[in-house]
Structure 1
Amino acid sequence: MSFLWAIIAGLIIGLLAKLVVPGRNPIPLWATILVGIVGGLVGNLLASAFGVADTNGVDWVRHILQIGVAAVLVAFVTPLWSRRRA
């Protein structure tokens, strides 16, 4: 069941990251999900390292870190994908 939640969270984080990155991001949905999953995992690690992983209420800093890492990955993957498709 946690695998399913990772896919759902990866989809949401990946789509939010694509919204943050300016310009057209023609990467496929499966790549968006993978970028979101990796962004979520790395964002959680960074939040734990900074001591903000578990707070009272909504963990806004953790979520911002997750989306930020995923946005960097989207910005990195998009030119690679565009070059591959050309």
Structure 2
Amino acid sequence: MTVGALLSALAVGLAVGALGRLVVPGRQTVPRWVTAAVGVVAALLGSLTVRLAGDAGPLDFRETLVQVCASGVAVVLVVVTSGRHRSVTPPARTRR
């Protein structure tokens, strides 16, 4: 990976991580740094995927598009799934 690809993945991941919280309605329990980190990691994986497929060139729009899509999906999944806690009801007591 080139330095440009790493910097674009970092920029895209941070931006989508910050904006991804706005897409999901309601209160989120995930810290902002987690959504930013997930966005950056997913953007890096998207960039790596495009480069392994051999479709990336210098300043390639497809690579940026894959980075945005991958980080957007990952951030939304993390925000939606992390806020749900299952409440376990205790078993009913029987009187003796």
Give the structure with the higher percent helix. Answer: 1
Are residue 33 (structure 1) and residue 36 (structure 2) matched?
yes
Are residue 83 (structure 1) and residue 84 (structure 2) matched?
yes
Distance 2:54 2:45 in 1: 14
Q: CA deviation at 1:14?
A: 2.2
Q: Report how many aligned residue pairs link the two structures.
A: 78
Q: CA deviation at 1:63?
A: 0.8
Query: Is the 1:14–1:70 contact (alpha carbons within 8 Å) kept by the matching residues of 2?
Result: yes
Distance 1:7 1:45 in 2: 10
Query: Is the 2:9–2:47 contact (alpha carbons within 8 Å) kept by the matching residues of 1?
Result: no
Distance 1:60 1:67 in 2: 11
Question: Given residue 71 of structure 1, which amino acid in structure 2 is its aligned partner?
Answer: G
Distance 2:55 2:48 in 1: 10
Where has structure 1 moved over 6 Å in runs of 4 or more? Answer: none
Q: Flag the 1:23–1:36 CA change in 2: closer, same or farther, 3 A.
A: closer
Q: Give me the TM-score of the superposition, normalised by structure 2.
A: 0.59
Q: CA deviation at 1:7?
A: 9.2
Distance 2:79 2:14 in 1: 16
Q: Flag the 1:64–1:6 CA change in 2: closer, same or farther, 3 A.
A: closer
Structure 2: unaligned runs, 5 residues or longer = 88-96
Distance 2:25 2:8 in 1: 25
Q: CA deviation at 1:66?
A: 0.7
